[in-house]
Structure 1
Amino acid sequence: MPKEYRALIGYCASYGGRYFDGGYGRDGCGDRSIYLERVVNLKQQAPTLSGIDLSCKDYKDYLDKGVNNALFYLDPPYKCTKQYKGRELNYEEFYNFCRQLSKDNVVVISEYSMPDDFECIWQKERNVYQKSDRVNCDKAIEKLFVMKKG
């Protein structure tokens, strides 16, 4: 299967963006098509994404690359939550990378918490469903962080 199809299915049909590692994206009642909703949304947004260079890479791919004046949105597996299959994130190394990258770029990190030299610029409470049954959930506060100035 071409990688584009695999990416589309992984993004639009998988539960929680887990790419085939968290169940199928569906609601608890079965009267919605999460996949179809995501495909329609993607098609609606596609024209506004023209001329934008989007990449999905390991953050280490940007070490010492001299990238500046860019916007980075980093969405690591949240600390103390399920990690990517077969890979454990070294959080201290990741935080240091964010500090370095923030010197010449705008770096926004999605996490529940960050070290004290980062500040929360946005937050919202949400339900977090750990299982694909969509019945049992915990409350969590999603946050976006940037490096503190000065």
Structure 2
Amino acid sequence: MKYMGSKTKVARYIVPIIQDQIDRSGFETYLEPFCGGCNVIDKVKAPQRIASDCNKYLIALMQHIQSGGELPGYIEREEYAKVRANRDDYPEWYAGYVGFVASYNGRFFDGGYSGKTQTSGGLRDYQDEGRRNIEAQRKDLENVIFLHKDYRAWSPVGCVIYLDPPYENTKQYKSVETFDHADFWRIARLWSHENIVLISEQEAPEDFVPVWIHKVSRTMNQNKTVNATEKLFVAKEVLEREGITQAV
């Protein structure tokens, strides 16, 4: 599913790294506390896969998709505006669908309305693209456990964990509370004692090291893209304990 900060473009690189840690460690639980559009967990294989997020509309939508629920047709601008202004008057999954699929770049009511746009290659229907992306994910989400839960409420032990938090010094959702990056890294350190924790970010504290580095381009709006460097970090103690190779 299209989602702000989605790992769709880099999943083919980071999923094998995650999968290798699951297979090698023998840990049966794979956990994603920032599951977003589920563009990584839908490709990971593990006896138990758990996806959680603090956005209740997102989780409701994923549960709706997983249960085989039907998806709406084209969302007109007027309907988008009504749902945006009164989202709690609608089923949570529906508000989630409108917010992610009908918002530019999957920004959940924070990127402006996205519908059909005339491009140099012809008429492009962004909603139809988003709908088809969701339909393609259904079968790969069948056994995922979806939970509406803040990452700070977890106390995992013996898991492979992939963290894809809001990146520091980047644009965040207006509707989300200010993200405490210092506390995030504190929790990542704590979890690393008894789990294998892999973290997507651009930069990290000195006691975390990259195991993968890749240059990408990011779409900021209809007229702007920026170049960035994606990295996958682990705590130094995990690197040494698990024999993971550091990226150079």
**TM bracket (short chain):** 0.7 to 0.9
Q: Conserved in 1, the CA contact under 8 Å of 2:210 and 2:231?
A: yes
Instruction: Name the Cα RMSD after superposition.
Output: 2.4
2:214 and 2:123 map into 1 onto residues whose CA distance is 27
TM superposition shift of 1:114: 0.9
TM superposition shift of 1:49: 1.6
Out of 79-88 and 89-98, give the one that drifted further: 79-88
Match of 1:128 in 2: 218
2:195 and 2:113 map into 1 onto residues whose CA distance is 36
Partner SS state of residue 45, structure 1 = helix
Larger radius of gyration: 2
- 2:199 aligned with 1:109, yes or no? yes
1:96 and 1:61 map into 2 onto residues whose CA distance is 14
Identity percentage over the alignment?
36
Runs of 4+ in 1 over 3 A off after TM superposition: 24-28, 54-57
Aligned residue among 157, 161, 168 for 1:79: 168
CA separation of 1:20/1:105 partners in 2, compared to 1, >3 Å: closer, same or farther? same
Match of 1:98 in 2: 188
Alignment length, in residue pairs? 145
Match of 2:125 in 1: 33
Which residue identity lines up with residue 143 of structure 2 in the other structure? G
- 2:231 aligned with 1:139, yes or no? no
CA separation of 1:18/1:58 partners in 2, compared to 1, >3 Å: closer, same or farther? farther
Q: Conserved in 1, the CA contact under 8 Å of 2:201 and 2:232?
A: yes
CA separation of 1:126/1:51 partners in 2, compared to 1, >3 Å: closer, same or farther? same
TM superposition shift of 1:28: 7.6
Q: Conserved in 1, the CA contact under 8 Å of 2:100 and 2:109?
A: no
CA separation of 1:47/1:72 partners in 2, compared to 1, >3 Å: closer, same or farther? same
Partner SS state of residue 32, structure 1 = strand
Partner SS state of residue 89, structure 1 = coil
1:99 and 1:16 map into 2 onto residues whose CA distance is 32
2:170 and 2:210 map into 1 onto residues whose CA distance is 19
State the Cα deviation string for residues 88-145 of structure 1 (Å, max 9, x = none).
Answer: 1121111011111222223222211111222223333222333x3x212221112222
- Which protein has the bigger helix share? 2
CA separation of 1:14/1:104 partners in 2, compared to 1, >3 Å: closer, same or farther? farther
Which residue identity lines up with residue 41 of structure 1 in the other structure? N
Partner SS state of residue 53, structure 1 = strand
1:32 and 1:123 map into 2 onto residues whose CA distance is 32
Match of 1:5 in 2: 94
Match of 1:44 in 2: 136
Match of 1:18 in 2: 107
Q: Conserved in 2, the CA contact under 8 Å of 1:28 and 1:135?
A: no
- Structure 2 segments unaligned to the other structure (5+ residues): 1-89, 241-248
